[in-house]
Structure 1
Amino acid sequence: MTVQNVWRKLGLSDVVDTGDSPRKFVGENPRIDNNFEYDIAVIGLGPVGVRTLHKHCISKDRMLGFDVSESRLAEIAKGSTSLSLLEDKRIAHAIDEQLLTLTADPAELSKAAVVIICVPTPVPETKILDYSPLRDACRLVVDAASPGQLIVQTTTTYAGGTRELIVEPLRERSLAPGIDVHVAFSPEQTHADSSQSKNIHAPRLVGGYTTSCREAAVEFFGRGVVKLQLTYGLEAAEMTKLFETAFQTVNTALNNEFAQACTALDIPFEEVLESANLDQDTVSGFSAGSGAGGYELTIAPHRLLNQAQAHDLQLPVLEAAMNSNKHRPATVVERCARVLADLGNELSDSKVLVIGLSNQPDTTDLFGSPALQVMDLLLKSGADVGFHDHHFAGPITLGEVHVPGYPNPRDFGADLIFLNTQHSYADLSWISDADTVIDGTYRAKGVLNRVPL
């Protein structure tokens, strides 16, 4: 039995070669299809959407940025996206050069050769994912779909989500997926950021509804991605992304657990990592820290858990890992209290400076940031808290408290320094032998009075 027949038997994605050449749908750079007014439309201008815009602005594609929020469009137009200054400047330049159009009019979506869906999936207190933004975005895209378009769903979703929200509605409009309109699932690479050159070596996952859908997506992403990771069908790609994220979630929890054990046993955890041959420069998530932040590690595991629960499946390892990561910031604060006690100080009477707010080095991603959770818990413990991160001027608002940022960290007069994220160009030379530093990265070199987390 062929792979294609196995997929059909299982009721998963049909892998049918329509015979259409992807070049019919994705032409040569820099113009994807001159029959369309725009080369690419990006739906949803949150952090991932804006970075997607920025990436294609560099290649001088004719871009359409769509968001239902007029205020968000105004922020982007003014260059105040809270991302990197370089991204803001390049997007502003693209607008000036009339390469980028911002709109809240869904009718404009029909004019783009490639439509990329980048909307977020909120997680309420119930932990049951709110798919309404994704459903609304897919409905707008399907309603505006034109023959010849390539629709790429990049929002990590449950297995079967792209079929349910895009493929079947297209059929209801009498547009044949894989023939009239091509549909693919290709999630944004985890921790992707324009300043991280290492991400060009990370493969981009691509799955299509048909083989010609996949080939159209390959032709499109192949212009700027060195490696592509291909799957048969949409569901396999969706589940692959969920598996990769679940693996990172479990691995993060395990690394933090081993790091905590090493601290208790007075064993340098960084040496354990090196001895285990883990390449910290190319494998993201394989390191201990203050918790699991970022959109993927914070949100994506809930997608798999929600779907598993709907089918009466149990995923105890993933559930335990998520619970461990959730409580990691509290462990950090407990460690701060113990170190201060050894110095003869009470946490409630101390000044704690947090260095590095981002989830990953050299990014500006604060989504689910463990550093913010640590600062919030420190404040609730009565500590005086400040931060230093050259990406953020401050202040950062946590609840009703405004935490000040210190461009010159010496001005804060900290009793304890917590190194949460160490950016490549972060200057730590100001730290003296009189300072006590808890190294939450397990990688800081040359820092005096450094104690592990």
Structure 2
Amino acid sequence: MMTNQSTQLGSTIVGHEVLELYQSRNATVGIIGLGYVGLPLALTAAQAGFSVLGFDINPSYVDRLNHGESYIKHISSTAVARAVAAGRLEATNDFSRLSEPDAILICVPTPLTQHREPDLSFVRDTAVAIAAKLRGGQLVVLESTTYPGTTDEILKPILEATGLKSGKDFFLAYSPEREDPGNATFGTSTIPKVVGGDGPEALALANALYRQLVIETVPVSTAATAEAVKLTENIFRAVNIALVNELKVVYAAMGIDIWEVIDAAKTKPFGFMPFYPGPGLGGHCIPIDPFYLTWKAREYDITTRFIELAGQVNTHMPYYIVERLVEAVDRSGRPFTGSQVLVLGAAYKKNVADMRESPSLKLIELIEARGANADYHDPHIPELPPTRQHGTLTGRRSVPLTPATVPHYDAVLIATDHDDVDYRLVVSHAKLVLDTRNVCARAGIVDPKVLKA
């Protein structure tokens, strides 16, 4: 980290005065991508006293933000309106304004292709847009999750094609996002931020900026190290979730309740960390990010066996759940073909309206492929939005959850354990409940018609 001593960089002096730009919060921060990562970050920077210019290709996002309205359910419109009214937050789809910010933070998607390979098209397109307006002294930070080397191998060459040089004319860093949508305990400002730079000057500047935004920064030696940190965090979760999903299958065959096992095991004060099974993985991180490392590892002739096995186990879970559902309905004396199934929860996790990679969509498709009819109820998602892989489900609407509607279904499949669902109403009026989240037991509901899966 830089001190008060100045460092000669090209034709400018970058030292205490430039650090002071961030430390005094007089810098303008540009954020590209105003979704589940970018919007909370923009609000955090605005609330910290920075002037924030947000960029997004979605004109609806831009218009709603500039009118003080949030389009993400767990983010308060009041907070957005306050930041806009204070002159701290402005949104635009005019990328020619990228010369205005002192720091540009990139928060664009990094999905997988159909062949489970990294799709960095959003990162490349963003880099090209920045390069068109890049000016001396700007700090550019990638936050999107990706494989180690992306900042140096993809972003840097595009920006340096302008003739400006990283570490001399502009500064390049990587700081992985750590958002957890709907987490009431940890938000953007209360989660430590890992920071890696392309050289010590870039690290110092990025660290100085983020220290104004979050409770703690964690500087690491390189941008590639910071990229590896993010992947490691999500691979750790993916592998351990796969482990308990596999244990669930084994223990279920033995007549053992996996949730009872985990609850007992976690009483050990050391050497055990609880993870919980489910109907499959969802969200933009855990189902996707591990395969970025799998892809990159091939460049070094290394096979990532744990990651690939975990992916296989987790990807198979919706199939396992539907098999258990078919068996349960058949045992109740009703043929599964032609039956009516209500999938409870469309979001990938509880208490959010986030549909990204939600296993519920796969569950609905598998149920209908087996000849049944499937509806869904989700208090956070009134209508299923367009998705890349499940386009035939687009436009379906959440059905009401009432004493009159629940008995219409031959089975209710609990896929997401939202807090604002009346599970006692569900159990009391349902013919059969298959609970993949153990929510009924956690609510103290004991009924023979409730089966765990």
Shorter-chain TM range is: 0.7 to 0.9
Structure 1 residues 395 and 171: alpha-carbon distance in aligned structure 2, compared to 1, 3 A threshold: closer
8 Å Cα contact 1:151-1:184 kept in structure 2: yes
What are the residue-to-residue correspondences of 1:28-107 with 2, within 5 Å?
31-33=25-27, 39-59=28-48, 61-70=50-59, 73-74=62-63, 83-84=72-73, 86-88=75-77, 90-92=79-81, 94-95=83-84, 97-107=86-96
How far off its partner does 1:161 sit?
A: 0.8
8 Å Cα contact 1:23-1:216 kept in structure 2: no
Name the counterpart of 1:3: none
8 Å Cα contact 1:22-1:216 kept in structure 2: no
8 Å Cα contact 2:379-2:420 kept in structure 1: no
8 Å Cα contact 1:123-1:299 kept in structure 2: yes
Matched, 1:296 2:285: yes
Q: 2:423 aligns with which of 424, 428, 431?
A: 428
Q: 2:264 aligns with which of 251, 272, 275?
A: 275
Name the counterpart of 2:140: 151
Deviations 1:331-357 (A, max 9, x none): 111111111122112222322222222
How far off its partner does 1:153 sit?
A: 0.3
8 Å Cα contact 1:393-1:407 kept in structure 2: no
Matched, 1:226 2:215: yes
Name the counterpart of 1:365: 354
Structure 1 residues 407 and 179: alpha-carbon distance in aligned structure 2, compared to 1, 3 A threshold: farther
Q: 2:115 aligns with which of 108, 126, 137?
A: 126
- TM-score w.r.t. structure 2 length? 0.83
Name the counterpart of 1:13: none
The worse-fitting range, judged by mean Cα deviation, of 232-241 and 347-356 is 347-356
8 Å Cα contact 1:348-1:381 kept in structure 2: yes
Q: 1:318 aligns with which of 289, 295, 307?
A: 307
**Separation of aligned partners in 2, 1:301 and 1:317:** 10
**Separation of aligned partners in 2, 1:358 and 1:42:** 26
**Separation of aligned partners in 2, 1:23 and 1:429:** 62
8 Å Cα contact 1:127-1:302 kept in structure 2: yes
Structure 1 residues 21 and 285: alpha-carbon distance in aligned structure 2, compared to 1, 3 A threshold: farther
| Greater relative contact order, per chain length (Cα 8 Å cut-off, separation 6+) | 1
Q: 2:401 aligns with which of 394, 397, 408?
A: 408
- The AA in structure 1 aligned to 2:415 is N
RMSD: 3.2
- TM-score w.r.t. structure 1 length? 0.83
The worse-fitting range, judged by mean Cα deviation, of 263-272 and 284-293 is 284-293
Structure 1 residues 234 and 274: alpha-carbon distance in aligned structure 2, compared to 1, 3 A threshold: same
**Separation of aligned partners in 1, 2:213 and 2:274:** 24
Structure 1 residues 451 and 396: alpha-carbon distance in aligned structure 2, compared to 1, 3 A threshold: farther
Matched, 1:114 2:103: yes
Name the counterpart of 1:286: 275
Structure 1 residues 208 and 452: alpha-carbon distance in aligned structure 2, compared to 1, 3 A threshold: same
Matched, 1:193 2:181: yes
Deviations 1:66-125 (A, max 9, x none): 123445545655788752064455435544554332222222111112211011123232
- The AA in structure 2 aligned to 1:452 is K
2:166 match: secondary structure = coil
**Separation of aligned partners in 1, 2:8 and 2:433:** 59
- The AA in structure 1 aligned to 2:288 is I
Structure 1 residues 260 and 23: alpha-carbon distance in aligned structure 2, compared to 1, 3 A threshold: farther
Ranges in structure 2 where 5+ consecutive residues have no aligned partner: 1-6
Ranges in structure 1 where 5+ consecutive residues have no aligned partner: 1-15, 34-38
Structure 1 residues 410 and 156: alpha-carbon distance in aligned structure 2, compared to 1, 3 A threshold: same
8 Å Cα contact 2:415-2:437 kept in structure 1: yes
Name the counterpart of 1:442: 438
**Separation of aligned partners in 2, 1:415 and 1:17:** 73
**Sequence identity (%):** 27
How far off its partner does 1:368 sit?
A: 0.5
Deviations 1:138-197 (A, max 9, x none): 1222332233322110111221110123334444445443354332211111x5225532
Aligned residues: 429
Structure 1 residues 395 and 210: alpha-carbon distance in aligned structure 2, compared to 1, 3 A threshold: closer
Name the counterpart of 2:363: 374
Structure 1 residues 22 and 241: alpha-carbon distance in aligned structure 2, compared to 1, 3 A threshold: farther
